[in-house]
Chains A and B, each alone.
Chain A
Amino acid sequence: MIRSHRRFLSLVLAAVALIPCAAPSASPRKARIGVSLLTLTNPFFRDLGDAMKEEGAKCGFEVSVNSGEFDAARQRNQVADFIVQKVGAIVLSPCDSKAIVTAIADANKAGIPVFTVDIAALGSGAKVVSHVATDNLGGGRLAAQALIEALGGKGRVAILDHPEVESVILRTKGFDEELARQKAENGVTMQVVARLPGGATKDKSFKAAEDLLQAHPDLNGIFAINDPSALGAVAALEKAGRLAQVKIVGFDGMPEGKQAIKNGQIYADPIQFPDRIGRTAVQTIRKYLQGDDVEAQILIPTALYRKADADKDSSLKK
């Protein structure tokens, strides 16, 4: 048994040694880009990854897209494997903004530039060349404009919040700033009467919205910080039979959210453009490899998506 193992091993080693050597060539390789996203089960990141592959092919890069699937250790392993492959650049959306810092430091040491998309890395001791993400502050402003437009500048509104996340803090900050500005300049009287945590999920937001309707029977509008929260609020309003009286503004532009806008359940969404984030990230890498200076942070603006846009959208059901 042992002898046959040994013979097998020597055969294998011989095979490895005998692989034909290519003639010495001095032509440079295509730059390879290693990508590890938060997850590939969410359409946002799928679109982002697909756009990076597409744009990479145009720029002559070899892009391989992986995901950590919310597991910080798995993502760290993926980065380690990118380093061994000596890729030209690494793009990450961290599963854990703090735990990723050690992996980025390893890449820095190997002379590999690191870029982040959508989610930033937090912490010292690691260098990220550029961060490409949605302009959440501007998106929050748009959300306030949409709600003011829906309610004619009057009424009582609530926010379904999730202040544990940096991007959401920026969204509500933008919302508050825009509302304050409109109050001062345009005589808007709309006021925020409540902020409840909706957990950024459908089920928690459903419960929070039900509580909201009990506490504020005269509510006119809700700003939900993402589409799942908005859809949770829709469910609560439908149950209470008050969907017609309360206008909802969401955030994101996920397919399910867009469908709800088409059905008139959500008034409007500031939508994000994951494909633009992905393309911009690849273009930034190209600029970097050309030796040009790149900005440390690049924000992709959102745009308001209303029923009129949804009616023209061919990707939605009738």
Chain B
Amino acid sequence: MAVVLVFLCAFFSIVTHTEKSAGPADAARQLAERMAGGGTILLVGRGSDEDREFVTGVGAALRKRGLEVVGEVVGEPRDAREALERLAREGKKLGFIGATAEAAEWTVLQEAATRFPALGAPRMVIPVGVRWPTFLTRQNLLNVANQIAVVAILAVGMTIVIISGGIDLSVGSLIALSAVGVTVLIRDWAGATAAGAGELFLCSLAGVMACAGIGLVSGGLVALFRVPPFIATLAVMQVASGVAFMIARGGSIYEVPDGFTWLGRGADFLGIPNAVLLMLGLYGGTHFFMTRTVLGRWVYAVGGNATAARLAGLNVPLVLLFAYAFCGAMAGLGGVVQASQLKSGAPTYGAMYELYAIAAVVVGGTSLSGGEGRVFGTLIGALIIAVIQNGMNLTNVESYSQRVVLGLVILGAVLLDMLKKRDWRWLTRLWRADPGRL
């Protein structure tokens, strides 16, 4: 599966290859070359930190070389127009406009020569930077990881349930329930926007524990009453979603303090989003649990053959109860992250997420019939889905086609995995056309 992920990354890197703005030093050199014959320059950038750095950096470098910088604009097209008007009023002549690639899209700059004839005929110069894939920028890669964090956290719980031979359809609804429950608790119990960090933690913990409890109920239905997992969790899915709508009274809850967004939007360690760190931590921990602890190995045994496991003396109900409770807790945690990212809770969150989580697990090589699978495989599966979605957004594929492509890629990835596991000779067997064996 890792091959598929690398291939997708490479593909989107090639497709999103575009020119990036030059750094301040390099840009100043290019502009100075163009201005060798004399003249004045106005520097323009959009209102981002990056552009501000560009404009002030280039301005300082050009002044140092003794060139005349008549203005620096960082902001909106309107600011650029005002600067041009001011220069025209003062009777200044403008030789050049130095702009970042983004500000160069502004029509006010493109039409400066015709709209402000008093300035002379300023020429726009866009310093040329290196070409680099938009997909492979640091910000975008963090985006990909951040966007999939919630589904990936769901999928780690789902992996355990599927390895145990079951399935959990309720995780999407649990996201909504947890998000709504936690935000309502913050609003009504912790003092709304005045809530402190400790209270936020307690509210979030309550949400996670409640979802773990609901997972325990699903597990009980499956383990003790022998209800098929599909049916048991389908019922829980309906109940959880309905309760979420009841608690929220249909609307969204947004009376939460700014500090609540720390988990979903903060990035304290090396600029990596906290949600991504949480996700990685959970995968590491679960991988250790599934490969190195007794209970983890029992999950494989129960999923492989529940009867054999029971006869071998394993506590099968305990394993199932644990698997569903863990899955519920992960869904609850996913709901907290979702609410934190969106700074609000609404009962519509998480719709269809159970299907994305199941897709991530299956693409990651875990068998739906239970007993085999790897936790890190699921992480790769989740990343494949995230990369496809992100890549298609970057290449402007429209919504309808996105779903078709996503479905086909999931299918392709699973087929590839099946082929790899099977003996390739089945193909040659087909050629021999032995009707008795087909």
**A residues apposed to B, CB below 8 Å:** 5, 8-9, 12-13, 15-16, 19, 21-22, 24-32, 40, 62, 64-67, 69-73, 76-78, 80-86, 88, 95-96, 98-99, 101-102, 108-113, 123, 164, 286, 288-293
Assess whether A102 is in contact with B265, with CB atoms less than 8 Å apart.
yes
Interface string of B64-89 (1 = CB under 8 A from A): 00000000000111101110100000
Q: How far is the CA of A21 from the CA of B18 in the complex (A)?
A: 10
**CB <8 Å contact, A81 and B251:** no
In B29-87, the 8 Å CB interface with A consists of 45-49, 51, 75-78, 80-82, 84
With contacts A102-B261, A111-B47, A289-B106 known, is A84 near B128, CB below 8 A? no
In the complex, what distance in Å separates the CA atom of A293 from the CA atom of B108? 12
What are 25 A-B contacts defined by CB distance under 8 Å?
A8-B6, A12-B7, A15-B14, A16-B13, A22-B131, A24-B128, A40-B400, A73-B342, A76-B341, A76-B342, A77-B393, A84-B137, A84-B143, A88-B102, A96-B348, A98-B343, A110-B46, A111-B75, A111-B102, A113-B76, A164-B250, A289-B108, A291-B77, A291-B84, A291-B108
Known contacts A102-B265, A289-B106, then 17 further A-B pairs from the complex at CB < 8 Å, ordered by chain A residue:
A13-B10, A15-B10, A16-B13, A19-B14, A21-B131, A25-B128, A30-B105, A40-B399, A71-B351, A72-B342, A73-B342, A77-B143, A86-B102, A96-B348, A102-B261, A111-B47, A290-B111
CB-CB nearest in chain B for A24: B128
User: With a CB–CB cut-off of 8 A, which chain A residues contact B106?
Assistant: 31, 289-291
Contact status of A64 and B398, CB under 8 A, knowing A16-B14, A73-B338, A73-B341 = yes
Q: Once the chains are docked, how many angstroms separate the CA of A99 from the CA of B349?
A: 11
> B252 an interface residue at 8 Å Cβ cutoff?
yes
B residues contacting A by CB (< 8 A) are: 2-3, 6-7, 9-10, 13-14, 17, 19, 45-49, 51, 75-78, 80-82, 84, 99, 101-102, 104-111, 124-126, 128, 131, 133-134, 136-137, 139-140, 143, 146-147, 150, 250-252, 254, 261, 265, 338, 341-344, 346, 348-349, 351-352, 389-390, 393-394, 396, 398-400
A260 CB to closest chain B CB (Å) equals: 28
Contact of B143 among A72, A80, A289 (CB under 8 A): A80
A98–B105 CB distance below 8 A:
no
- Least Cβ–Cβ distance between A306 and chain B, in angstroms: 35
Most buried by B among A8, A26, A65, A83: A26
Query: Do A72 and B346 touch across chains, with their CB atoms under 8 A apart?
Result: yes
For A25, the chain B residues whose CB sits under 8 A away are 128
In this complex, what residue of A is CB-closest to B75? A111
A81 contacts B80, C-beta separation under 8 Å: no
- Which residue of B48, B342, B352 is within 8 Å of A109 (Cβ)? B48
Q: How far is the CB of A133 from chain B (nearest CB, A)?
A: 20
Residue contact B125 to A81, C-beta cutoff 8 Å: no
Name the distance in Å between B182's Cβ and chain A's nearest Cβ: 14
CB-CB nearest in chain A for B51? A111
A80 contacts across to B, CB distance below 8 A? 143, 146-147
Contact in complex: A96, B344 (CB < 8 Å)? yes
User: Which residue among A5, A62, A289 has the maximum number of chain B CB atoms within 10 Å of its CB?
Assistant: A289
Complex interface: chain B residues within 8 A of A83 (CB): 139
Q: Considering the complex, give the chain B residue whose CB is closest to the CB of A293.
A: B78
* Other-chain contact of A290, B6, B77, B389 (Cβ < 8 Å): B77
Q: How far is the CB of A308 from chain B (nearest CB, A)?
A: 37
A83 CA / B102 CA spacing, docked (Å): 12
Complex Cα–Cα for A76 and B341 (A): 9
Contact at B399–A69, with CB atoms within 8 Å? yes
Give Cα A292 to B394, complex, Å.
30
CB-CB under 8 A from A22, the residues of chain B are 19, 131
- List the B residue with the shortest CB-CB distance to A78: B393
Partner of A66, one of B131, B150, B348, B399: B399
